[in-house]
Amino acid sequence: MTSIRRIALCAALLLVGCGHGMDGPTPTVAKIVPPVACNQLDTTVVITGTGFVPVPEQTLQKTSMLVLPTVTLVDASGNKTAIDPGAVTWTDETSMTVILHASLGLAPGVYDVVVTNATGKSGTLAGGLTIVPPPTLVSIEPTEVCDMRTTQVTLTGTNFRDDPATAPLLVTIGTPTPTVLSEADGAVTFVDPQTVTVDIPPGLPDGIYSVTIQNADGCSSTLDNALTIAPSPTITSIAPTSAWNGQDTTITITGTGFRMTPAVTIAAAGGAAITLAVTFVDAQHVTAVVPKATAAGGYTLTLTNPDGCSATAMLTVTSTPPITVTGVINPFGCSSDGTPITITGTFFESTPQAFLVGAATGGGDLKLVNVAFVSSTKLTAIVPSGGVIGGPYTLKVVNPDGGIGQKAMAFTITDLCPPVIDDVSPSSVVHNYSTSAPGATPITVTGSNFRADATVVLVNQSGTEVALPNVSVATAGIPTKLTVNFDASAMNLADGIYLVRVKEADAAPPAGTGVTEWGDYSLFIVTNPSGKFSPAMAAKPLPAGRRGLGVVGGQVNAAARFIYAIAGDSGGATPTLFDDGLVAPLDLFGNIGDAGWLTLRKMAANPATGDTTNTLPSARTGVGIAQWNGWVYVLGGTTSLGAAGLGATFTPTAPIADVRRARILPATEAPTLSTAAGVGGTLAAGTYYYKVSTLVTAGTAGYGANAAETVASDESVVTVGATGSVQLTFARSSLIPAANVAGFRIYRSAAANGTSQSELFLADVGASATGYTDDGSATPGMAHPLGAGMLSEWEAGPALQVARAYPGVTVAVAAPAAGTTIPYLYVVGGASSATIVERTYEVSSLTSGTAGAFGPTLTGSNDCASENCMATGRWSLFTSAVVDPPSVTNPVTSWIVAGAGATIAGQNLDEHAQITGASGLLQAWSSVTTDASAAFTISPETLGPIGFYSNAHLAVIDGYAGMVQNKDEFVGLACNGTSTNGVCDAGVDFKQTGARSNSNLGVMPPIAWCGYAITSGYMFIVGGSTDGTNAVTTVQEGAQ
C-alpha cells in the first residue's frame, strides 16, 4: 500500500507540476542586411534566419491577434533595446524586416540581434548589427570652382564610410536641380573616414551651393554655402595695352569673373611664364605689375582664378613708354605763383595725375593741380606755387590705369616770374620792316614781369626762334611795357605767323636758377610787301556744304579769335536755305583749331534734353556780313531762290532789307567758379569738370531781347577721392549788373574721369545763389555750356532802306582829320528783286559801337537822285575799303571799291568812291586808274568772286561767269599823288601800279559765292560752289 500511495502521490504531483508553458520552433538568426546602420536615420534592415514563427493569440476571443517574433538589440554591455513591434514586418518564417528608428538613440557600436518568438524561444546573431554615427562634413577645399572645367575638391570631416557593396558614397551639390555625384561613377573617391575627394564636373550653374555627403548607410551631412560655382574669367581689356619695360608697370586687367585672388602670368611664345604681382580690385578688375626689364615683345597674359579657370589676352611689353610726355608749355614758372601749363604727349587717359619729381618742399613730388584732360595728347594743369626753386624737374604723368610717362628736365621753378605779354602793337609788319624807316613805329609790347635784361625774338610755326636783327629793347624802367626797335630791311624776314617771345633770365643762384624764361604772344604777322598770300591750304571743312554764306572773323580778346560762317544755302536744284551759323575757334597761330566748326548756340530752352541753336529769324542766303567792335552783322540776303537769271544759275526771288546783329559773347562776363571736394553725397570718386554760367534777364544789353546766358566760367577741375560731393562757389562777373542776373546754370562732366570741356547741364540755381553742392543726386542733362566765341541771340539791327540780296559789305575807317577816325558800315549794290540789281549803297556809322540807321535816305530802289550811284548795278559783287592804314596823325582819304557783279555786258570796270563827310557818304564812283591812266579792269566780269584789298593790293579771285572761273587777278595800288609816310595825302586818289599778277592764293578748286574773310593773318575761303549750283564744305586758308 505504501507503494500505491507513493505512486498516487507522485501522479498527483506530476499533474500539479504540469505548469503553464508555450512551445514552438526555436528561431535562428543567420544574417542582418545591411549589417551596418546609421543612428541618424530610420534604417530598414532585413533579418534572415529560421523559425521566425508568429503565434496567433486570443483565438477564442472575438478578435484574434498575431504575435510576431520580437527583435532585441543587445550591446556589448548587455543593455537591451527592444524594437517596437510596429517597426517589425514579418515576411515569412525565414525573414523579417525591421526599421531601426533614429529615435531609438542607439549608440554607435556592435549589437547582438535577438529574435524571440511569442513562445519565448529565441535566436541570437552575435555581433549581427553595427550601429554607426552619421558623417560630419566640416570643410571643402577649394571652396570655389569654375563652371568650365572639372575640378577636384576635397571634403574633410568625420565618419565618412566607404561601403560600395551596400551603396556608393554620394556627394550632392545643391544646384537648383541637385547634382548627385556618385562613387559608383568614379566622381567620388573615398580616401579615409576623414577625407573624400569629389570631381566637380563642368557645366554647373553659377552660384553658391550646399554640399552633402551621404554614406552608404544613408546618413548624410550638409555644409551650407560650401561651394561656389563661379563663371570662368574673361578678359575684355588690358590697360595700358602695352607695358613699358623701363619701369615696373602696373596694368589693369578688366573683365568678368575674377575671383580673389587670381594668378596672373605672362609668357612669350615658347617662353617660361612670368608670374606677376597681383592685386585683386573686384570681380571686374585686377591689377598686376609687369616687372621692369621684362623683355620687349608679345606675351600671352593668363589670368587664372583660384578655381583653376583662366582667361588669356595679349600684352605687349615694349621698350617705348606707352605714355609719352613730349612737351610742356611753358617749361618754367615762378615759385611764388601758380603757373598754367599745357602738357603734350601721347596716350593720356582721363584724368591723369601729374607731378614734378622732387619739386616739393622736402624733396617729394610736387603734384600739379587742376589737371584737365583735353585729349589723349594734351593736358592742361597748374603748377602750384610753393615749389622748390630749381630744376629743370622731371614731369611725370600717371594715367588712371597706372601707366606712367615722364619727361626729364621738363619744368623749371624759377625765383622770378616769367614775363607775360598782353599785347603787341603793331601786330603786323612787312618782312623788311624797319622801325627807323619814315613813318614806321617801334613795336610796343605790353604785359608784366618785364625786366631790364628782356630780349625779344619771334618764333615761327615750327617753334624755331627767329632773331630780329639790330634789336634794341627798352623797358624804360616800366615793368609792363617794352619798346622794341629793329631793322629787318636787309633780312627779308620770312612771311608768316609768328609768336612774339620776351626772354629774361631768372635770378642767379642761390636765389634763382639763372635759366632763361620767357613769355609768348600770338599773333604777329610778317607779310610780304607785295601783299601776296601763301598758297591756300585745306583747313577744317564745314559740316555741310554752304554757298551764299557770310564769313567774318572776330575776337573777344587778343588770344581768343574766331571765324564765323552764317546763313547760306545748300545749293542744288532746290536749295535749302539756312538760318543757323557756325563758329570755328582759331588756335595760337590763327589756324582753325582742332574743335573745327561748331554750331552757334544760345541758352538752351530745355537744358535737360539738349542744346538750342542760335538761329536767325528766317533762313536766308546771299547775305552780307561784317564784324565791328565785337558785333557780327548779317545784312540783307534773300529768303528764297529761283531759277537761273541775272547771269547766275539762280535768282534771289525774295531779297530782304533785314539786318540782324549778335554780339560775340565776351569771356569777361562769365562768372567765376571755384570747386572743392566735400564729404557726404553719392558722387562717385574721380575727377570732375565743372562750369557755371550766369543767366541774365530778358533785354539785358548785349544779350538780345530774351532771357539769355553768358559764356560759362573757366573750367574748374576737382577730384573726389572717395564717394562724396563737390561744393561749387561762384559769383557773377561785375560786368553783369546784379539786377540782370536771373540765376546760374551749373554744368558738369557726365561721369567721373571724363574729358575736359565735356560738361553738361546739371542744375539751375537762383540769382541769389553763391554756391551749389553736387552730391551726385542730380543727373546731367544734354545741354552744353556756351563757350567762348558764341554769339548772343540775334537781334534786329537798323534795317536797310532797300532789300539787297548778295550785296557788297565792308567796314571802312575814315580819318578825315588828324586825331579822328570814324568807322562806317557800307552795304553796296545787291539784287533788290529777282530782276533788279542795285546801283545804290547804304552806309551806317559805327561810332556809337553799333550800327545806326542807314543813309543816305533813299526813296526806293536805284534812287540815284538821292546819292551817287555806281555806274552799273552790281550783285554778287565784292566791296572793300581802301584805307592803308588809317592814320591818326594825318588826315587821310579812304575809299570804297566795288568790283565784279555787273550784269551789263562790258561793264566790267571796278569802281571806287571816296568817303567824304561825317556821315560816310561817298563821292562819285569812278574807275581806278592805271599808271597809263587806263581803267583798272578784271576779266572777265564774274559773279560771287573773292575780292579784297589788302596790303596795298587789290585782288579778285574766281567767281562765276557762265562757269566758275579759275582767276587770280592781283594788282598793286599806289598813291596817285602826294603821300606822307607812305600814306596818300588827303584827297589823293590811288592807282594801279605794277603789272597784274596773281595773289598766290591759288584757290583750288575754283570757287564762287563762297564766304571769305581776312582774319588772324589768314585769308579763309569757306564753302561756296564749284560749279555755280552745288555747295561745298571745303575751307581753305592762305597766310597773308
Partner 1 sequence: MRRIIVAAVLLSSLAAGADETITQAAPARDRGQVLIAAKLGGLFAEPFSRLGASYLVDVEIGYALPVLKHHLALAIDGAYTAPQASGGGTDAQVAAGSYSYQLQQREGILGLTLYYRHPIGRVTPYIGVGPRLFLLQSEVDGAAGTTPIHTSSEVSTKAGVGAPLGVGVRLGPGDLFLEASVLWAPIDHRITGDSNMGALTVSLGYRFVL
Sites of contact with partner 1 (CB under 8 A)? 1, 4-5, 8-9, 12-13, 15-16, 18-25, 51, 53-61, 63-68, 85-86, 88-93, 117-119
Cis peptide before 69 (omega within 30 of 0): no
Residue with smaller CB distance to partner 1, 58 or 966: 58
Least Cβ distance, residue 49 to partner 1 (angstroms)? 14
- CA distance linking residue 56 with residue 58, whole number of Å: 7
Q: How far apart are the first and last CA of the chain?
A: 174
Cis peptide before 399 (omega within 30 of 0): no
- CA distance linking residue 844 with residue 842, whole number of Å: 7
Least Cβ distance, residue 126 to partner 1 (angstroms)? 25
Task: Provide the residue type at 314 as one letter.
Answer: M
- CA distance linking residue 595 with residue 191, whole number of Å: 72
Least Cβ distance, residue 115 to partner 1 (angstroms)? 14
The bridge status of strand 109-116 relative to strand 70-74 is antiparallel
Residue for grid cell 538750342: 612
Least Cβ distance, residue 112 to partner 1 (angstroms)? 23
Residue with smaller CB distance to partner 1, 12 or 735: 12
Residue with smaller CB distance to partner 1, 16 or 272: 16
**Contact 229/206 with Cβ under 8 angstroms?**
yes
- CA distance linking residue 550 with residue 569, whole number of Å: 11
Q: Which residues pair with 145 in a beta bridge?
A: 229
Least Cβ distance, residue 103 to partner 1 (angstroms)? 18
Name which of 408, 371, 382 is nearest 393 in CA terms: 408
Residue with smaller CB distance to partner 1, 4 or 932: 4
The cell numbers describing 681, all together, are: 553725397
Residue with smaller CB distance to partner 1, 89 or 835: 89
**Contact 253/278 with Cβ under 8 angstroms?**
no
- Give the C-alpha distances (Å, rounded to integers) separating 105 from 45, 70, 634: 16, 18, 104
Task: Provide the residue type at 1018 as one letter.
Answer: Y
**Which secondary-structure segment (H or E) carries 331?**
none
Least Cβ distance, residue 113 to partner 1 (angstroms)? 18
- CA distance linking residue 756 with residue 110, whole number of Å: 82
Residue with smaller CB distance to partner 1, 52 or 348: 52
Name which of 616, 599, 610 is nearest 544 in CA terms: 599
Least Cβ distance, residue 13 to partner 1 (angstroms)? 7
Least Cβ distance, residue 119 to partner 1 (angstroms)? 5
Residue with smaller CB distance to partner 1, 17 or 438: 17
Least Cβ distance, residue 36 to partner 1 (angstroms)? 24
Least Cβ distance, residue 29 to partner 1 (angstroms)? 17
Residue with smaller CB distance to partner 1, 15 or 165: 15
Residue with smaller CB distance to partner 1, 95 or 316: 95
- CA distance linking residue 790 with residue 614, whole number of Å: 9
User: DSSP letter at 871?
Assistant: S
Residue with smaller CB distance to partner 1, 16 or 905: 16
Dihedral angle of Cα 623, 627, 628, 634, to the nearest 10 degrees? 30
Residue with smaller CB distance to partner 1, 64 or 237: 64
User: DSSP letter at 205?
Assistant: P
- Give the C-alpha distances (Å, rounded to integers) separating 783 from 164, 374, 605, 718, 809: 74, 19, 9, 21, 35
The cell numbers describing 607, all together, are: 537744358
Residue with smaller CB distance to partner 1, 2 or 77: 2
Residue with smaller CB distance to partner 1, 15 or 932: 15
- CA distance linking residue 714 with residue 110, whole number of Å: 90
Residue for grid cell 545806326: 852
Least Cβ distance, residue 139 to partner 1 (angstroms)? 44
Least Cβ distance, residue 98 to partner 1 (angstroms)? 11
**Contact 899/956 with Cβ under 8 angstroms?**
yes
Q: Is the dihedral of CA 767, 772, 774, 777 positive or negative?
A: negative
Q: What are the backbone angles phi and psi of residue 889, rounded to the nearest 5°? A: -105, -30
**Contact 355/366 with Cβ under 8 angstroms?**
yes
Length, in residues, of the chain: 1040
Least Cβ distance, residue 44 to partner 1 (angstroms)? 13
318 backbone φψ class: left, alpha, beta (φ>0; ψ -120 to 50): beta
Residue with smaller CB distance to partner 1, 19 or 78: 19
Least Cβ distance, residue 123 to partner 1 (angstroms)? 14
Least Cβ distance, residue 46 to partner 1 (angstroms)? 12
Residue with smaller CB distance to partner 1, 54 or 776: 54
**Which secondary-structure segment (H or E) carries 583?**
strand 581-586
Least Cβ distance, residue 51 to partner 1 (angstroms)? 8
- CA distance linking residue 189 with residue 169, whole number of Å: 8
**Contact 571/1025 with Cβ under 8 angstroms?**
yes
Least Cβ distance, residue 34 to partner 1 (angstroms)? 19
Residue with smaller CB distance to partner 1, 9 or 126: 9
Residue for grid cell 615750327: 462
Dihedral angle of Cα 341, 758, 699, 627, to the nearest 10 degrees? 60
Residue with smaller CB distance to partner 1, 99 or 598: 99
Least Cβ distance, residue 8 to partner 1 (angstroms)? 5
Residue with smaller CB distance to partner 1, 8 or 608: 8
3-state secondary structure 180-201: EEEHHHCCEEEEECCEEEEEEC
**Contact 80/62 with Cβ under 8 angstroms?**
no
Burial of 988 (0-12, 13-18, 19+ CB in 10 A): middle
